[in-house]
Amino acid sequence: MLEGIPTRYDERLIVGYDTSDDASVYVLNEELALVQTVDFFPPIVDDPFLFGQIAAANALSDVYAMGGEAKLAMNVMCINSQMGQEVVRAILQGGYDKAYEAGVLITGGHTIEDKEPKYGLSVTGFVHPRKLLRNSSAKEGDVLLLTKPLGVGILMTAARGDLVDEALLRTLYSEMAQLNKTARDMMVRYDVHGCTDVTGFGLLGHALEMARGSGLTLHLESEHIPYHAEACDMAEMGFVPAGAYRNRAYTQDDVVIREGTRQGLMDILYDPQTSGGLLIAVSEDVAPQLAAELQQVISCAEIIGYVTRREEKALIVE
């Protein structure tokens, strides 16, 4: 859609939209670069405070996926005439709550009227130019880690039909509201080569972007991929969000999935996630140490695959 639209070149802009990365990066000096992103969406939960938390965590995640430290944010909000002031305030309080937890200052924002309410953040962070992480910089021999379980989109779709129990819903809410800051703070101490967060394109969509951008093939080991077991059953009952089918259409020509893989699991791999985890490409010799450190505070973090030279397909699910 952007083809033919004139853009200005600046050598200090070292990450733009050309590699489908999570944020833009602009170099200020030899030791400091600016990281910028924006993300907002309609409510996916009924509780306005929780919605604000999830939307803020999701927006902040893009900076963490670049290896950056988020510092400033501005509210982006759409409200309609049916929303009372207490609802609007609760959404904003949820966003401020997550920003405070992340050590981020919300400095203002912009609000407009719209038929459908929406909320998110424009986020500014910082990173050392030589410590920047991209989704296109994985290396042959790397090991892949994932820090949050999959299946959120399917289960939230099933929840609209009251088919998800309260205990599981509370777990899903907690995972979506969980900041990726802890994972970021740990991974930057290791020899990490590439990173992206798993959100709307699902695991396979974001992994494919990493594979194509890096010019390599990513192998995902399905038996090690963390996911909510209940999502398999719900997917096979037909509770698959429309975004999963779009993700399948986008990726399937460059993906091989092992024969005999359960249909529900295939749907999970394409399932769009909200505020999902980080997909990390890290040097093989330090991957076990990073995984062990992550698992001390993020129990579901797992090594899920590895990176090889470019093969016939960019993505292989084993």
pLDDT one-digit tens code per residue, 21-35: 889 999 999 999 999
pLDDT at residue number 174: 97
Backbone phi, psi, residue 173, to 5°:
-60, -45
Mean pLDDT on 157-166: 94
CATH code, domain with 151? 3.90.650.10
Check whether 110 is labelled as a binding-site residue.
yes
Check whether 24 is labelled as a binding-site residue.
no
Residues of the chain above pLDDT 70, percent: 100
Regarding whether 230 and 286 lie in a shared domain, the answer is yes
Of all helices (H) and strands (E), which one includes residue 59?
A: helix 48-65
Residue 260 makes CB contacts below 8 A (sequence gap 6+) with none
Check whether 193 is labelled as a binding-site residue.
no
Check whether 21 is labelled as a binding-site residue.
yes
Check whether 111 is labelled as a binding-site residue.
yes
Check whether 196 is labelled as a binding-site residue.
no
Residue 5 included in any domain: no
The domain containing residue 214 runs over which residues? 134-317
pLDDT at residue number 193: 97
Residue 2 included in any domain: no
Regarding whether 230 and 203 lie in a shared domain, the answer is yes
Q: Which pLDDT band, with edges at 50, 70 and 90, does 74 fall under?
A: very high
Tell me: pLDDT of 5 over 90.
no
Check whether 97 is labelled as a binding-site residue.
no
Of all helices (H) and strands (E), which one includes residue 148?
A: none
DSSP class per residue in 179-205: -SHHHHHHHTTS-EEEEEE--TTHHHH
Mean pLDDT on 293-314: 96
Confidence (pTM): 0.94
Residue 234 included in any domain: yes
Regarding whether 182 and 294 lie in a shared domain, the answer is yes
Residue 6 included in any domain: no
Average pLDDT value for the chain: 95
Regarding whether 139 and 274 lie in a shared domain, the answer is yes
pLDDT at residue number 310: 96
Among the three residues 113, 130, 147, which one is the final residue of a domain in this structure? 130
Check whether 19 is labelled as a binding-site residue.
yes
Check whether 197 is labelled as a binding-site residue.
yes
Regarding whether 280 and 165 lie in a shared domain, the answer is yes
Residue 119 included in any domain: yes
* Strands 118-127 and 32-41, bridge-based pairing: antiparallel
- Rounded CA-CA distance 184/122 in Å is 19
Q: For the chain, what is the domain count?
A: 2
Check whether 219 is labelled as a binding-site residue.
no
pLDDT at residue number 21: 86
Residue 8 included in any domain: no
Mean pLDDT on 145-153: 97
Tell me: pLDDT of 20 over 90.
no
- Rounded CA-CA distance 199/28 in Å is 29
Cα dihedral sign for 274, 278, 281, 287?
negative
Rg for the chain, CA atoms, rounded: 19
Regarding whether 204 and 307 lie in a shared domain, the answer is yes
Q: What is the pLDDT of residues 167-189, one digit of tens each?
A: 999 999 999 999 999 999 999 99
Of all helices (H) and strands (E), which one includes residue 314?
A: none
